[in-house]
Structure 1
Amino acid sequence: MESNRIKNQFKLGEAFRYFFRVFGKKDPSRPDSFNLRMMHGINRISIIMFLFCLVVMLVRALTR
C-alpha cells in the first residue's frame, strides 16, 4: 500500500502528455478559446526559457 502511494506521487505521464500537447498538433476534440491559447503560449515560453537555463547551467558547470 505504501509503495503504491509513493509511486503515484511520482507519476509524470500526464505532465509529459501536456508538454507534447502544448508543442504538438492541435487536438480538435479539445475546447479552443483565446484564454486557452494565451495560456499555452505563455507555457511554451516558460518551458523554452527553463530548458535554455538548464543548458546554460550545464555549460557553466562543465567549463569550470
Structure 2
Amino acid sequence: MSNVKEYFQLGDVFRYFIRVFKKPDPNAPTSFNLRMMHGINRISIIMFLFCVTVMIVRAILR
C-alpha cells in the first residue's frame, strides 16, 4: 500500500510550479538558454492552468 501512496505524491510537482515563478537565486549560474527555458515553462504552466479552468467551467455549465 505504501507504494501506491508514493506513486500519487505530487509534492515535487507542486514545488516545481512554485519555484518556477520565484526570482532566481543570484548566486546560481545563469545563461540565456536557462532563462528562456524557465520563461517557456512559465508560459506553458499558465496556459495549462487556463485550459484546465476553461474545461472545468464548460463541464459545469453543461
Would the TM-score normalized by the shorter structure come out above 0.5? yes
Q: CA–CA distance in 1 between the matches of 2:60 and 2:3?
A: 37
Which runs of structure 2 are paired with 1:13-52 in the superposition (5 Å)? 13-52=11-50
Q: Kindly state the Cα deviation for residue 37 of structure 1 after the two structures are TM-superposed.
A: 0.5
Cα distance, 1:21 vs structure 2:
1.5
Structure 1 gap ranges (5+): none
Q: Percent identity?
A: 68
Please report the RMSD computed on the Cα atoms of aligned residues, expressed in angstroms: 1.6
Q: How many residues were matched structurally?
A: 62
The ranges of structure 1 where at least 4 consecutive aligned residues each deviate by more than 4 angstroms after the TM superposition are: none
1:26 is paired with a residue whose SS is coil
How far did 1:24 drift?
Answer: 1.3
Higher relative CO (Cα under 8 Å, sequence separation at least 6) belongs to 2
In structure 2, the gaps of 5 or more residues are none
